């Protein structure tokens, strides 16, 4: 009837990022991007423009691990994700967050309100190109907005 205790090994894995969670936790520097909503095919990309997973980068910032902690905590917070249901609205790229350890990267491309979703890119991993919805008005977007504009935005969870 009911499965008991079979999730033991799974419990050690992050439900969203699995083993690749360690890349996010270990990355010394974190890149955060403001991106165009629609990706551009590689052959159509403008040579002098920068792209991340085919999304044109509008603004790029890099943070030390401790400064980016507010975003990293939100990305690793399983409560921010909706793994069982999906909104039927089109993904519109807004931000991307990239973690790097050696040659391994985890990049989270984010579609912001009102169609809050992410696509996870992690080449060579089972989570590569994983689509998952995130909660409306969650802490992830608030954390990224704080990093981009700490004067006018607050750290999620603070008053």
Binding site for other proteins (CB under 8 A): 1-7, 10-11, 37-41, 54, 82, 84-92, 114-115, 117, 129, 131, 133, 135-136
Distance CA 68, CA 100 (A): 13
Distance CA 114, CA 108 (A): 18
Helix, strand, or coil here: 148? helix
CB of 104 to other proteins, least distance (A): 23
Q: How far apart are the first and last CA of the chain?
A: 47
In the bound state with other proteins, the residue whose beta carbon lies nearer, of 64 and 129, is 129
In the bound state with other proteins, the residue whose beta carbon lies nearer, of 27 and 107, is 107
In the bound state with other proteins, the residue whose beta carbon lies nearer, of 39 and 156, is 39
CB of 63 to other proteins, least distance (A): 26
* Distances 27 to 23, 88, 153 between C-alpha atoms, Å: 6, 33, 25
């Amino acid at each position: 009837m009911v499965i008991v205790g079979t999730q033991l090994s799974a419990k050690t894995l992050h439900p969203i990022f699995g083993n690749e969670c360690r890349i996010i936790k270990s990355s010394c520097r974190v890149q955060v991007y403001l991106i165009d909503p629609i990706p551009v095919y590689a052959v159509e990309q403008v040579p002098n423009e920068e792209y991340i997973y085919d999304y044109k980068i509008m603004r790029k910032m890099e943070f030390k691990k401790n400064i980016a902690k507010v975003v990293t905590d939100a990305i690793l917070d399983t409560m921010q994700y909706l793994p069982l249901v999906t909104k039927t609205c089109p993904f519109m790229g807004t931000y991307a967050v990239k973690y790097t350890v050696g040659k391994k990267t985890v990049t989270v491309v984010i579609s912001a309100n009102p169609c809050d979703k992410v696509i996870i890119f992690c080449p060579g991993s089972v989570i590569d190109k994983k689509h998952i919805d995130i909660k409306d008005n969650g802490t992830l977007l608030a954390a990224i907005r704080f990093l981009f504009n700490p004067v006018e935005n607050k750290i999620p969870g603070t008053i």
